[in-house]
Each structure stands twice: as structure tokens, then as C-alpha cells.
Amino acid sequence: MRLLCLLVVLCTLCGVAFSNDTISGVNLGGWLLIEEWMFSFGMFDRVDELYDTPQGVVMPPLLPDGFGQNWFGEGDLVYKLVQQFGEDSAIEVIEAHRDEYITDDDLMLMRLAGIEAVRVPLGWWALVDECDAEEAVVITDPAHADKQFVTVPRPYLLEQISRIVDNGLEVLLDIHAFPGGSTEGSYNGIFPADPVFFTSDDLMAQGFDIVTNLCDLYLDLPASTRAGVTGFTLMNEPAQGLGWQSDFMQAWLRSATDIYRQKIANFVSDVPKLYTNLIGNSITNEAMLIWMDDTFTEEELADWAVLDVHSYYAWDWPASGCYDGSCAYECSDSATAEGLDHIHDIVWDTAEYTHTYFVANGTVPMVACTEYSLATLNLSNTACRSKPILDEMYYNQLLGFEEQGLYASFFWTWRMPYGGTHEYAWSLKYYLGLGH
């Protein structure tokens, strides 16, 4: 029966697989760092959460129908679970989710789909000293007393990394959230509270400890597993939406890079790639290249330093599509060959130039995109969901990454079974027809 299932999967993928020289990856979002919109259960359709509307509804497997309160992000979720049920029950809920969300079958399907690497978003609560314990505990954000988290014990995290590598996938470890909040957005852990990481010397110092702990975790891996950890991101979307904090961000990130250089790059022979993720609403494209050139040597840029810039149509109005006529094209246009050609032209006109500015400059040899999706708008009920349009989004973006010579691309995300209409364009597993 298992062989039959594998044959069915392979046949499903025959018309979908896309092979190119760009490393093909996928994010494991919603697993070890929980984002509320991915658990909105069809009740909300915004990807970027509003400050007055908590969108998190369920937390399977123990709370498949929710618990009577909606929540903003992981810090708000755990705090409300602790208030309602106590710390032990909160830990049980979060750990049950972690244990069932990404299975060995998922990892097998990724391999069959041609995925080479996975990006694992981590919160700071997976990299603090409390994680050295065998059992998870509840910890509180140092700047926001009403935001709490369940630690990821180091033995558990090491086990999960080994499991992924043993299944034949490479791993990129990404620090997605920092104490106090280092970016706007519900993935920062403390939303809707103000992100204050870059306004506090104490928090930034704690951030250096977190980066150090990530490096130590890598060095503690068995050699066979360590060989499968091929990349790191020290901070996801730093100071996103916080342009006035950009100078502090750039200085901190340069110092964090020094930690990576001293702990890993100068210590191992085969240096994992360092994906420096920068975002345009906190630093200009020109300044990104200047920062890379100032921070890395020519040899480092050629060997292990990668500039990583995310690319989303969902917030790019000139290339957006929707049902209500307010976008660059209407979803119904795909009903005719002429209309689909029009959509193709709009999608491709963006896809072929997403990273051209960085690649064409020539000073940074390796450029990547560790987040992209098929979403045509940030409102999933209004965004296009038909297969012809999603195919245009998928194939054109991959072709664009290939033609621009990107080093790697990672889809956001692998699965989103509790995300309602978000699942159509944000779950690679669902798009490929491999279930929820």
C-alpha cells in the first residue's frame, strides 16, 4: 500500500516539478515559531494582522476548536493559555503541536517534490540558556510581561535537525524573532506590542547571546548532521517597518556577523552559507549592497556570504490580482486565453526582475530569496485561487529566479492546514496536490 501511495505521489508531481540550478527550498513556517494567521481557521483572511484584530483561532491537535479566545501571535497565545489553563497545560498544548506538525511523511514528500533544503524559523525561546534543560518551561519576554513562550529544549531541537538531515534534506536555521521584538509584524512574537529590541542595549546584548547559542548548537551537532546544516539567517527581516531604527539594526547585524565569523566561519573548513536577510522598508536597495560590501571581504562574498531579499506579490499592487477589480488584473481574466496571457505578462514582468538590481551590480556574487509565495494579494478571500493563475505565479517565479541566477529560493511555506483560504497560495504541499 505504501508503494502504491508513493507511485500516486510521483504521478501527481510529474506535471508540476520544476528543475533548475537554483537551490529549491521550502520554509517550515508555523512549526517551531507559530504565526496566528496560519491558524485562523477560515475566520480571517488577512496575512498581515491588524493591531485590533487577533486572528489566531485554533491550536491543534489539543485545541482543534480553539479555547474561547483569539490570539495575536505566539507570545499572546502562550500568555493566554497560561492564564486560562496554567503553565503545564500551556506547555502540553504547544509541544503537542510541535510533535505533529511536520512529520516524516512530510519530509518524504518534500524530497519527492524536488525540495533540496528546508528553512526552519526559530524564535529566541529556542536559543536561550533555559533551553539546556530536558523539559520545556514557560518564559516571559523581557520587555513585555504579557508575552510568554514555551522553550524548545536543546535536545529536542537537535533531534529535529537530525531527523530532517536523516531524511535527505539540507537545513537553513533562521532566527525569526528576538526578545522585545526586532521587527513589525505578528511573526515578531510580541505583536501587537511595540518592538523595542533596537532601542535597548540590554536586549541587543541578549541578542548576541542568542546568536552565540545558535553557533554553539551547530558545533555540538554530530559531524554527519552538521554537514546537513548548510545555512543560517541571524535575523529575519530586521527592523521591518522600523526605518528609523535602521542605523542601529545595521550596526547590530554587523556585530552579530562577527560572532558568526569567529565561531563558525573561521573555525570550520566547509562554511555554511550566511544568508543576510535585509528588507526594503528599513534599508534601501543601494544601502543593502553597501552594507554587504562593507561587512564582508571579497573572499567571504565568494564563499559563504549571501544577500537574501524576500519577494512577495501580495504587497506589490502593480502585479497584484484579485476578485473585486481593485488590482492590476481580475481573477476572472483567467477564464479566456487572452486574459490568461495578460496575467502571464503582468506576473512575468515582475518575476524576471525581482532581484536584478542586486545581481546586476556584481559586488555580491550570491543572492537568494528565502521567502516567496503564490499569493496575488494580502487578503486571501479576495486573492486569486484558480489553478491557472497559481501555476503562472509558481512557474514564472521559479523561472525568474533561475534566469537571474539566484543562489537559492525558499517557498513560504510547506503546509497550512488550519489557515482557511490562506492555504491555496501559501502552502506548497496543498498547491502540489499532496494534501493539507
pTM beyond 0.85: the answer is yes
What are the backbone dihedrals phi and psi of residue 260, each rounded to the nearest 5 degrees, phi first?
Answer: -60, -40
Q: Which helix (H) or strand (E) holds 166?
A: helix 154-166
The rounded distance, in Å, linking the Cα atoms of 230 and 306 is 12
- In Å, how far are 45, 65, 69, 141 from 56, measured between CA atoms? 11, 11, 9, 19
User: Tens-digit pLDDT profile for the chain (436 aa)?
Assistant: 343 344 444 444 444 444 456 879 999 999 999 999 999 999 999 999 999 999 999 999 999 999 999 999 999 999 999 999 999 999 999 999 999 999 999 999 999 999 999 999 999 999 999 999 999 999 999 999 999 999 999 999 999 999 999 999 999 999 999 999 999 999 999 999 999 999 999 999 999 999 999 999 999 999 999 999 999 999 999 999 999 999 999 999 999 999 999 999 999 999 999 999 999 999 999 999 999 999 999 999 999 999 999 999 999 999 999 999 899 999 999 999 999 999 999 999 999 999 999 999 889 999 999 999 999 999 999 999 999 999 999 999 999 999 999 999 999 999 999 999 999 999 999 999 999 9
C-alpha cell at 99: 510533535
Three-point CA angle 98, 133, 142, nearest 5°: 80
CB-count exposure of residue 428 (10 Å: 0-12, 13-18, 19+)? buried
Of the candidate CATH numbers 3.30.230.70, 3.40.50.1100, 1.50.10.10, 3.20.20.80, the domain formed by 18-32+101-136+151-431 belongs to 3.20.20.80
What are the backbone dihedrals phi and psi of residue 143, each rounded to the nearest 5 degrees, phi first?
Answer: -110, -10
**Residue pair 358/292 in contact by the 8 Å Cβ criterion:** no
Domain ranges of the chain: 18-32+101-136+151-431
The rounded distance, in Å, linking the Cα atoms of 90 and 303 is 43
